[in-house]
């Protein structure tokens, strides 16, 4: 199973992922700001009509209107929580990409160090055998 993960990590174009991460965060922030602006600015569709008298509105229409208003409020709050979740996930994605990039660099450094130490030890063993 570890071989699958290693292969997957090698296949992923990390340079493209790292370059795209700031754009993803910016898009998530814009989405969050847009959802917040929509929630703070009520539309005309949510306003109750003032030109219709109470006698014209039956109890059934009034209850349906209230149900629709509650549903709109519920959907608006769900949208805000979804936007917050997306923003949080985008920030976590940026941190993960940065951590993976750091690990990739450290792995290269460790590999180079191991090769150099291996060469040094081979030279040392050769030197001890020859002398």
pLDDT in tens, 24-74: 777 777 777 777 776 666 554 444 455 555 555 556 777 888 888 899 998
Q: Which residues contact 113 (CB under 8 A, 6 or more apart)?
A: none
The whole-number pLDDT of residue 31 equals 75
Would residue 46 count as lying in a domain?
A: no
If one counts the domains in the chain, the total is 1
Query: What is the rounded average pLDDT of the residues 78-86?
Result: 86
What single DSSP character describes residue 51?
Answer: S
Residue 30 lies in domain: 2-41+56-130
Measured from the Cβ of residue 9, the count of other Cβ atoms closer than 10 Å reads: 13
Would residue 47 count as lying in a domain?
A: no
Q: Are 32 and 83 in contact (CB under 8 A)?
A: yes
Measured from the Cβ of residue 87, the count of other Cβ atoms closer than 10 Å reads: 19
Site of tokens 């608006």: 76
Would residue 50 count as lying in a domain?
A: no
The whole-number pLDDT of residue 97 equals 86
pLDDT digits (tens, 9 = 90+) for 91-128: 888 888 888 889 989 999 999 999 999 999 999 999 99
Would residue 23 count as lying in a domain?
A: yes
Apex 56 CA angle, 51 and 57, nearest 5? 90
Would residue 96 count as lying in a domain?
A: yes
């Amino acid at each position: 199973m570890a071989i699958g993960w290693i292969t997957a990590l090698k296949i992923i174009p990390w340079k493209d992922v790292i370059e795209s991460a700031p754009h993803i965060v910016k898009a998530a922030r814009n989405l969050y700001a847009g959802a917040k602006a929509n929630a703070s600015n009520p539309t005309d569709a949510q306003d109750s009509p003032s030109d219709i008298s109470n006698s014209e509105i039956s109890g059934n229409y009034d209850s349906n209107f209230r149900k629709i208003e509650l549903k709109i409020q519920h959907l608006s709050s769900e949208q805000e929580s979804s936007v917050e979740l997306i923003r949080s996930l985008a920030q976590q994605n940026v941190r993960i990409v940065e951590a993976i990039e750091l690990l990739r660099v450290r792995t290269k450094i460790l590999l180079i160090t191991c090769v150099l130490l291996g060469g040094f030890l081979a030279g040392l063993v050769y030197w001890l055998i020859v002398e």
